[in-house]
Structure 1
């Protein structure tokens, strides 16, 4: 089982809402995570994307990126969202997806050093939400933008091939 498939299984087991939302992980390249959700189970009374669903997909993308970045460092820890806000720019009118990227396309040195020294760290992330089929290089403008701070505590080495 690939790292991404194992992580998706873990997300659905540990965060039941992710299964109800229909979240599907598409790609992780070491600096960005792409995941999607269908519109049908995530609609509001107007037939567009429900704000809470859109937020949940975006926060899952950022939380997931943090977890995967930790794994790439050979670490496991407790990852939680400390703060988060979202700007809804346009209605979600179709299946949608979120992209979260590491700042500067790499794990920030300050974050890595804090994890090594103290077993904890903070990471500020942005996840953008787009309508349509998942694409790691979207041509359209995002329909929503999430900004959040994620805190990692109790970071420690993890056995390889374990999620």
Structure 2
């Protein structure tokens, strides 16, 4: 089973809310993650995206980027969100998707070094939410922008598990 399919299964099992929201991992190229969610199970009383659902999809994308970056380094650790903030810029009026990219398109050296030296590290990430058909090259502006800090503790080689 490909890495992304295995990770989708893990998310569904370990974060039940992700399945209820209909979150689907679409692509991971080692630099950016694309995930999507349907509006129907995530709508509010006005028929637009419920703020909590939009936030949950965005924080899931950023958490997943941290987990996938660790996996790409051959590591596994305890990943948690330390802080997060979202700006809602426009209503989510249809199915939506989230793109979260590694800063500068790569795993930051400071993060790598901290993991190697201390077995822990922090990663600041931005996840952008868009409406419409999922793509890694959106033409519209984001409808929401999440910024968060993720902490990794107890990073260790996946081989030793």
Equivalenced residue count is 161
Whole-angstrom distance in 2 between the partners of 1:111 and 1:124: 10
TM norm structure 1: 0.97
The aligned counterpart of 2:132 is 132
Question: Could you say what the CA RMSD is over the residues aligned between the two structures, in angstroms?
Answer: 1.1
Q: Which runs of 5+ in 2 are unaligned?
A: none
TM-score (norm 2): 0.99
Give, in whole Å, the separation in 2 of the partners of 1:68 and 1:142: 23
Aligned to 2:28: 28
CA–CA distance in 2 between the matches of 1:156 and 1:133? 37
Q: How far 1:159 sits from its partner (Å)?
A: 2.8
Matched position secondary structure for 1:136: coil
Partner of 1:76 in structure 2? 76
How far off is 1:133 after superposition?
1.0
In 2, Cα distance between equivalents of 1:111 and 1:44: 38
What is the alpha-carbon distance in structure 1 between the residues aligned to residue 115 and residue 78 of structure 2? 12
| Structure 2 residue aligned with 1:57 | 57
Whole-angstrom CA distance in 1 between matches of 2:159 and 2:38: 34
Deviating above 2 A after TM superposition, structure 1's stretches of 4 or more consecutive aligned residues are none
Over residues 38-94 of structure 1, what are the superposed CA-to-partner deviations in whole Å (9 max), with x where a residue is unaligned? 000000000000000000000000000000000000000000000000000000000
Q: Counterpart in 2 of 1:93?
A: 93
